[in-house]
A and B are shown apart, each in its own frame.
Chain A
Amino acid sequence: NAGVMQNPRHLVRRRGQEARLRCSPMKGHSHVYWYRQLPEEGLKFMVYLQKENIIDESGMPKERFSAEFPKEGPSILRIQQVVRGDSAAYFCASSPTFRQGGEQYFGPGTRLTVT
């Protein structure tokens, strides 16, 4: 059973460009979460999605950031007009439809560098 997959693993963008980060949850998982991690810090929640629905986007910046989890295909985190402050590691996590505990399973992350 493959784990959570994210791509690309590393992404370099110039200021003003768009960044698209992809996440495929574990098989059987219908809940997807995106987190951002700055160097030397813990992970900060951004958004929680189920198929075709945004459940909680309380951690998403109001502008330039958007997320989707379509009926078919991976979840996408999109950052428009990137700025240097967007440089961070972005992690996706998934959890099963019927959870037994509090765990979320994380992917390897996408390291975004804005030059």
Chain B
Amino acid sequence: GESVGLHLPTLSVQEGDNSIINCAYSNSASDYFIWYKQESGKGPQFIIDIRSNMDKRQGQRVTVLLNKTVKHLSLQIAATQPGDSAVYFCAENGSGANSKLTFGKGITLSVRP
């Protein structure tokens, strides 16, 4: 069956360090992989996505890496800030432009001052 899962439930990093959040997926037919950030009491906020025909995409302070060989997705956050503290979810949207999203369970990122 389809599943998207995260390796670790929590991640604690020092302010200013780089953070790496990892995710495994099982549906090799997915078109897009997306990272969301969710702060307490709020809805998920889109961070960055990557199409299945790419292996790297960069945004502002964030980089997403896709390894289709091992079905692995990662989010790298440069110079982590206290405002980055949140729960991070990876998601995949199957095949088709408007497919539903399948989410992993989430990993909590805690930034130490």
Contact = CB atoms under 8 A, between A and B. Distances in A.
B101 A104 contact: yes
Closest 4 CB pairs of A and B: A102-B32, A106-B43, A42-B103, A45-B100
Given A41-B106, A109-B42, 8 more contacts: A31-B98, A33-B101, A42-B103, A56-B100, A91-B43, A101-B32, A105-B46, A108-B43
B103 A101 contact: no
Nearest to A55: B98
Contacts, number: 68
B34 A102 contact: yes
A74 to B, nearest CB: 16
A38 B49 CA distance: 24
B102 A45 contact: yes
Interface in A37-71: 40-45, 48, 55-56, 58-59
Interface string A89-105: 00101010001011111
A55 B36 CA distance: 24
A33 B100 contact: yes
Nearest to B6: A42
A109 B36 CA distance: 15
A25 interface: no
B98 A48 contact: yes
Interface in B16-73: 31-34, 36, 42-46, 49, 51
Contact of B51 (A4, A43, A101, A105): A101
A14 to B, nearest CB: 24
Nearest to B47: A103
B100 A43 contact: no
Contact of B43 (A40, A48, A102, A109): A109
